[in-house]
Amino acid sequence: MSDLNPFLLAAVTPDPDPRLLPLLRSDPSLASQQDAHGYSLLHAAASYNHVALLKVLVTDLKVDVNLKDEDGETCLFVTETLDVVKCLVEELNIDVTLRNDDEVTAAEKFEAEDEYPEISAYLRQRAGGAATASNGILPPLPPNVNIQVNSTEDVGTDQEPDPEFRRRIEELAASDNFQSEEGQAELRNLIQDAVRGVSDDRDVRRRVG
């Protein structure tokens, strides 16, 4: 089987060539191999919608899921289905915040190319959750939601976000129906609750001040 090309075996639909996995198990070093352009079996599996192959490469053969090609792009950048994206993100823990050589994330690339809006929306949600988990910053609001709070009062720039509000918006941003009408309505209600809370707090401080 030494004359078999693993990239060609992976570039078959609907399933990879059945000779691929025995080849990789006989020589695990092939699993992490990249061609002259940095193209890997991970990129092939992601682009051809081979979820099972992705799991084997990362889980069994220990390929780095964040392996990049010559453009600095992981296999997340070449996905075309939400099923593959969810596998990479939720099961294989790919980093959704990584940027390519053009300094754009996978979500930003999909948006710029106006392709696969359901994938870019999902990645935006996950990237927001990742930011919250890593630095305590709330995930970004959808582009159609804008909050402006105007006040001459000094409310303190070192005040921590309310933990319960942060937990609720994290949970909402990670839900499957975040972009639906129901999800957006829930987000608006959450924001209104938060704004009312700020207003009530100011009223209390005025009365006791």
Which segments of 49-148 does DSSP mark as H helices, in order?
Answer: 51-55, 82-86, 106-112, 117-135
174, 204 in Cβ contact below 8 A?
Answer: no
What is the distance, to the nearest Å, from the Cα of residue 4 to the centroid of all Cα atoms in its chain? 34
Residue spans of alpha helices (H) in 12-162 = 20-26, 41-47, 51-55, 82-86, 106-112, 117-135
Question: What proportion of the chain, given as a percentage, has pLDDT over 70?
Answer: 69
| Closest to 101 measured CA to CA, from 130, 139, 74 | 74
pLDDT of residue 115: 86
Confidence at residue 193, expressed as pLDDT on a 0 to 100 scale: 72
pLDDT band at residue 188 using 50, 70 and 90 as cut-offs: confident
Indicate whether this model's pTM tops 0.75: no
- Closest to 50 in 3D by CA, of 19, 94, 81: 81
- What's the Cα-to-Cα distance from 201 to each of 28, 50, 66, rounded to whole Å? 61, 53, 45
Identify the burial level of 180 via C-beta atoms within 10 angstroms of its C-beta, where 0-12 means exposed, 13-18 middle and 19 or more buried: exposed
Element spanning 196, H or E: helix 181-208
Structure token digits, residue 11 = 């570039």
2-41 pLDDT, tens digit per residue, is 689 999 999 999 999 999 999 999 999 999 999 999 999 9
Residue 201 CA to chain centroid, in angstroms?
A: 35
Residue written as tokens 């060609």? 8
Task: Using a pLDDT cut of 90, give the percent of the chain over it.
Answer: 56
| Average pLDDT of the chain, as a whole number | 80
Q: Is residue 59 predicted with pLDDT exceeding 90? A: yes
pLDDT at residue 122 tops 80 = yes
pLDDT of 143 strictly over 50: no
pLDDT at residue 155 above 50? no
Residue 107 has pLDDT above 50, yes or no: yes
Measure the CA–CA gap between 88 and 76, rounded to whole angstroms: 7
> pLDDT band for position 144 (50/70/90)?
very low
Please give the average per-residue pLDDT across 166-182, as a whole number: 70
d(CA 98, CA 73): 8
Q: Is the pLDDT of residue 1 over 70?
A: no
| Average confidence (pLDDT) over 34-61 | 97
- Domains defined for the chain, CATH in brackets: 1-140 (1.25.40.20), 144-209 (no CATH)
